[in-house]
Amino acid sequence: MVAALENELQDRNTARAVAAWIFDIGFDWTPAAAPISEFDFLIAYAFGNRPPANGGDPAKVLAEPGPMNELLADVVARIRTKRTMTVYAQWEIAHFLKTKYNMSQVIAIDPVIAEDGTITYLSTDGVAAQVAEQRKSNPGGLGTAGVVGWRDHIKRCVLTTEGRGMTALAPEGFTMPDTYDPESGQPWTRRRDLYLVHDMNAQWGMMRTELISRMYPNG
């Protein structure tokens, strides 16, 4: 990769730097992980949904949680059979944790609903920000999060959680789901190849921000 870039750019130093970033974003999809005994709490990030039932206006009618989020809820449930801890779950996952598993210690992270009823769904960072806000008064600090997320989303979930000041790791020994829903209400979560492009685009945005901050901390 470095040789190909150097040939194209005629600049070995730049090629080496850019190749490392391309490898990180394009070829490494596995987050750091740890045993669940190291976690203070879990964060479960949703993946896709289904359009509102009965053809409701998606701007003002809540989406259906969808089968992919049920699979994510199943992972949370498996973890909770091994260790009980508080779960901060995006509402699509929290729905199944409560209705399917009757699980306690679940804090749902809901979308923002304006006074006129317009729904704004939270981004991955929006969910992380909500959790950090809720935990900021915790006597022990923000703590260490065990992150549950879609197989192709979880690396970014971990990085985003860390970006909000929490230590974040995937749970060792638990396989994340990766079967895409062609009926998802979010087009980029209907098929894997398209989602990978979507996620890489998001990771590039995160890396751009981090690199500018690191290289030019004073602006």
**Tens of pLDDT along 197-206?**
999 999 999 9
Residue 19 to residue 99: CA distance in whole angstroms: 46
What is the tens place of the pLDDT at every residue in 142-190? 999 999 999 999 999 999 999 999 999 999 999 999 999 999 999 999 9
The answer, yes or no, to whether residue 140 has pLDDT greater than 90, is no
The pLDDT assigned to 99 comes to 98
On the question of pLDDT at 11 being above 90, the answer is: yes
In whole angstroms, give the CA distance from residue 46 to residue 128. Answer: 12
Residue 192 in contact with residue 182, Cβ under 8 Å?
no
Check residue 55 and give its pLDDT: 81
The pLDDT assigned to 58 comes to 87
Q: What's the pLDDT tens digit per position in 55-73?
A: 888 899 999 999 999 999 9
Long-range CB contacts (< 8 A, 24+ apart) of 31-34?
31/147, 31/154, 31/155, 31/157, 31/158, 31/159, 31/169, 31/170, 32/158, 32/169, 32/170, 33/169, 33/170, 33/171, 33/172, 34/146, 34/169, 34/170, 34/171, 34/172
Q: Which residues pair with 118 in a beta bridge?
A: none
Instruction: Specify the pTM.
Output: 0.96
Confidence (pLDDT) at 54: 85
User: How many whole angstroms separate alpha carbon 122 and alpha carbon 112?
Assistant: 7
pLDDT at 53 over 90: no
Residue 5's pLDDT is 97
Gap between the Cα atoms of 123 and 135, Å rounded = 19
pLDDT tens digit sequence for 75-127: 999 999 999 999 999 999 999 999 999 999 999 999 999 999 999 999 999 99
pLDDT of residue 201: 98
